[in-house]
């Protein structure tokens, strides 16, 4: 006779919990940018010489997310908080260990230092029971996680637009018909055969009268014009200088989220486009999109000129209809790489030498046909004047925005440039 074994009900089936919902709750932790660090507290490497967040960091973040979600049985939480039950080996620890295990097994996080993580749910030993401790094991987000976070950011930024807005964004409203924006004209050799059936039949009937069968000739073919979508190569320049997290506001995390949303938009809607990411600070470097989530600000100055030079080199390799730089910054240029390789720095006011060389680089972008759109997260009088000068030279646009509206400005501006109507 078959038997059924019943376990104690904890209120949630943790084995089937939606991991994407958990990732959504962990988004601020996974994309943290160093906000709250004071000058002098920056750690480019941990004590063991390795960069990145550890498994202990992930464990603590999940614990906080579960406590805030209200999904944990209150009796279980009370036993731990009131120290009536030790945390080590407790049911709560096993729940978190199980969630971390699922995140790894379902491809949301990876452990780059370990070829084959093995799991001991009693103590979460990796690589065997004598494996390294949790605070010594690094974890990384996979492309699957980055893609999901980019999708969620894109949906949050654009999915709430109302019924009166244009575009391809979800609303609660239903509509009939399909969008047609181009006029009808006679078919010409080489055109895509996007036939307008009604106009084609009308042309044949007008020429030869209404009879069956209808005799359609080459001259009767009418095609519907559509919008021409150009290909675009974009370099997103993100300022990682110290000022991006000063003044009680984290400005870099929204910038990272915008970059991830833009990458998801390009991959899903504009596959012919390309996106590269450049971080500029004391110097500048390109980073792979898969490492964007780990990018942080530091005790750096702002070498805008070096970022523009690197962006130009990247765009010169692209063969696209459009080439543009999207620069997100909140500060004035305060550093300059000299011919001898040394970096000249001056954070006091607008240094005329740094500004002059930066403006020269903007002019080179203009000469090379590269558009620069600047998204400024500050509105100081001197900075406004500098950004206006950049905009005047490169014939681009300047947006004086905030971290809360940055995403809508960047993404809507990008999509607006993607279509050109054929006349």
Coil vs helix vs strand at 199: helix
Tell me the backbone φ, ψ of residue 62, rounded to 5 degrees.
-65, -40
**Higher per-residue confidence, 396 vs 339:** 339
Asked whether the beta carbons of 100 and 59 are under 8 A apart, the reply is yes
| pLDDT averaged over every residue in the chain | 76
Mean pLDDT of 68-87: 75
**How far apart are the C-alpha atoms of 140 and 78, rounded to whole Å?**
32
Structural domains in the chain plus CATH codes: 14-41+49-141 (no CATH), 184-225 (no CATH), 229-421 (3.40.50.410)
How many degrees, rounded to 5, is the angle at CA 306 between CA 300 and CA 311?
Answer: 120
Residue 369 Ramachandran class (φ > 0 left, ψ -120 to 50 alpha, else beta): left
Q: Does position 282 have pLDDT exceeding 90, yes or no?
A: yes
Q: At what angle do helices 143-158 and 406-417 cross, to 10 degrees?
A: 90
| 365's tokens | 């972008």
Query: Which residue pairs from 97-102 have beta carbons closer than 8 angstroms and sit at least 24 positions apart in sequence?
Result: 97/121, 97/124, 98/14, 98/15, 99/14, 99/17, 99/19, 99/22, 99/62, 100/55, 100/58, 100/59, 100/62, 100/124, 102/15, 102/17, 102/19
Give percent of the chain above pLDDT 90. Answer: 16
Mean pLDDT of 52-56: 77
pLDDT, residue 166, reads 40
Residue found by looking up tokens 């990272």 in the block:
256
pLDDT, residue 13, reads 62
What kind and span of H or E run contains 286? strand 284-287
Lowest average pLDDT, out of 90-94, 188-192, 340-344, goes to: 188-192
pLDDT, residue 311, reads 96
């Amino acid at each position: 006779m078959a038997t059924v074994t019943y376990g104690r009900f904890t209120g949630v089936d943790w084995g089937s919990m939606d991991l994407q919902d958990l990732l959504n709750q962990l988004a601020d932790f996974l994309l943290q940018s160093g906000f709250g660090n004071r000058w002098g507290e920056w750690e480019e490497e941990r004590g063991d010489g390795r960069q990145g967040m550890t498994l202990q960091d992930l464990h603590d973040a999940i614990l906080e997310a579960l406590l805030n979600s209200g999904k944990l049985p209150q009796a279980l939480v009370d036993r731990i908080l009131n120290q009536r039950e030790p945390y080590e080996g407790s049911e709560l620890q096993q729940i978190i260990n199980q969630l971390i295990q699922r995140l790894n097994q379902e491809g949301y996080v990876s452990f780059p230092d370990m070829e084959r993580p093995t799991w001991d749910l009693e103590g979460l030993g990796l690589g065997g029971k004598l494996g390294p401790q949790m605070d010594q094991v690094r974890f990384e987000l996979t492309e699957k996680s980055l893609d999901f976070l980019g999708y969620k950011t894109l949906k949050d930024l654009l999915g709430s637009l109302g019924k009166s807005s244009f575009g391809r964004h979800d609303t609660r409203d239903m509509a009939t018909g399909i969008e047609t924006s181009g006029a009808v004209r006679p078919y010409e050799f080489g055109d895509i055969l996007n036939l307008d059936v009604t106009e084609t039949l009308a042309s044949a009937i007008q020429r030869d009268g209404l009879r069956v069968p209808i005799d359609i000739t080459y001259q009767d073919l009418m095609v519907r014009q559509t919008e021409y979508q150009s290909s675009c190569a974009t370099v997103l320049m993100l300022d990682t200088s110290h000022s991006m997290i000063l003044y009680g506001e984290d400005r870099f995390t929204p910038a990272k989220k915008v970059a991830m949303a833009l990458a998801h938009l390009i991959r899903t809607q504009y596959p012919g486009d390309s996106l590269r990411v450049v971080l500029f600070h004391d110097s500048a470097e390109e980073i792979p999109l898969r490492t964007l989530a780990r990018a942080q600000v530091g005790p750096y100055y702002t070498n805008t000129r070096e970022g523009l030079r690197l962006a130009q080199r990247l765009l010169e390799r692209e063969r696209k209809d459009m080439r543009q730089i999207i620069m997100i910054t909140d500060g004035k240029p305060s550093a300059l790489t000299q011919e001898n390789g040394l970096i000249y720095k001056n954070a006091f006011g607008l240094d005329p030498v740094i500004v002059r060389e930066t403006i020269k680089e903007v002019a080179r972008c203009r000469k090379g046909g590269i558009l620069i759109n600047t998204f400024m997260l500050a509105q100081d009088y001197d900075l406004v004047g500098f950004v206006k000068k950049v905009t005047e030279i490169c014939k681009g646009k300047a947006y004086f925005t905030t971290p809360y509206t940055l995403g809508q400005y960047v993404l809507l501006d990008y999509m607006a440039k993607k279509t050109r109507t054929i006349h």
